[in-house]
Amino acid sequence: MRTKTIAGNWKMFKNFQQTEDLINGLKKALDFTDKSVKVIVCPPFTSLALAGSLLKETPVALGAQNMYFEDEGAFTGEISPGMLKSVGCEYVILGHSERRLYFHETNESVNTKAKKALASGLIPIVCVGETLEEREKNITDLIVSTQVRGCLKEISAADVERIIIAYEPVWAIGTGKTATPQQAEEVHLLIRKLVGQLYSWATAEKVVIQYGGSVKPENAKELLSQPNIDGALVGGACLKADSFASIIKSATA
Ligand code: PGA
């Protein structure tokens, strides 16, 4: 049985004070007695330590939005897995489409980072998804399969069972256009079948596959009720405590 997992990707929003306000708002809005949904917040690097300390004693987990694949060294501007762990991170988003687009991340670099994250005890949330142009050319399946294969290369079945894959159609991110539950389910099933082929069906059944792209309180329930949609990676709607809490509520059984 896969646990529904809702992660909030804050992107480059919220300074120190705003972080305190949002986390305190979440602490008021969330029902911590409900253990059926796993909740993860992914603030920017500068807010991780603060968010981590405010979330201590709660079941909400902390994640980062990126990391570098070396332990330490002369890599100005980069952050290591050990640094993330030292402020309480358990998860790290890798290969978000914005990082692929603006920072030239590739399936190869995401794969290197994913292996390093796993070896360091962090759980990667590996993002895949097609652009509008690719969907219109009917090559969604090819693009997503290539991304999944590339990002999972040389990762063991035991590790794949721990990771999260986030299917985020690029055309749905921050645009207000959501994939229909049927469109999303189709790609989620494709991803699960591919993991089944690459590993085994038993492994595929354990992998949490989140949907991301304009998830909001109004559409969360229907998306999350699809058999292969195991959670959501939420951008814009996680920046307000009430809307994030409402999405989390939609995930409860
Ligand atoms: P959005 O972003 O919910 O604002 O579309 C999702 C994401 O980029 O992870």
Q: Whose CA is nearest to atom 2 of ligand 1?
A: 235
How does pLDDT run across 63-96, given as a tens digit for each residue? 999 999 999 999 999 999 999 999 999 999 999 9
How does pLDDT run across 189-204, given as a tens digit for each residue? 999 999 999 999 999 9
pLDDT-derived band at 32 (thresholds 50, 70, 90) equals confident
pLDDT of the residue at 34:
84
The CB of 63 under 6 Å from ligand 1? The reply is no
Residue 160 CA to ligand 1 center (angstroms) comes to 24
Mutate to test the pocket of ligand 1, among 9, 10, 99, 102 (most ligand atoms within 8 A of CB): 9
Mutate to test the pocket of ligand 1, among 40, 215, 244 (most ligand atoms within 8 A of CB): 215
* Spans of all domains in the chain: 4-250
3-class secondary structure per residue, the chain? CCCEEEEEECCCCCCHHHHHHHHHHHHHHCCCCCCCEEEEEECCHHHHHHHHHHHCCCCCEEEECCCCCCCCCCCCCCCCHHHHHHCCEEEEEECCHHHHHHCCCCHHHHHHHHHHHHHCCCEEEEEECCCHHHHHCCCHHHHHHHHHHHHHCCCCHHHHCCCEEEECCHHHCCCCCCCCHHHHHHHHHHHHHHHHHHCCHHHHCCCEEEEECCCCHHHHHHHHCCCCCCEEEECHHHCCHHHHHHHHHHCCC
Q: Which CATH class for the 4-250 domain?
A: alpha beta
Q: Give yes or no for a contact between 59 and 28, defined as CB atoms under 8 angstroms apart.
A: no
Q: Give yes or no for a contact between 248 and 39, defined as CB atoms under 8 angstroms apart.
A: yes
Residue 200 CA to ligand 1 center (angstroms) comes to 30
Residue 130 CA to ligand 1 center (angstroms) comes to 14
The CB of 213 under 6 Å from ligand 1? The reply is yes
pLDDT of the residue at 151:
98
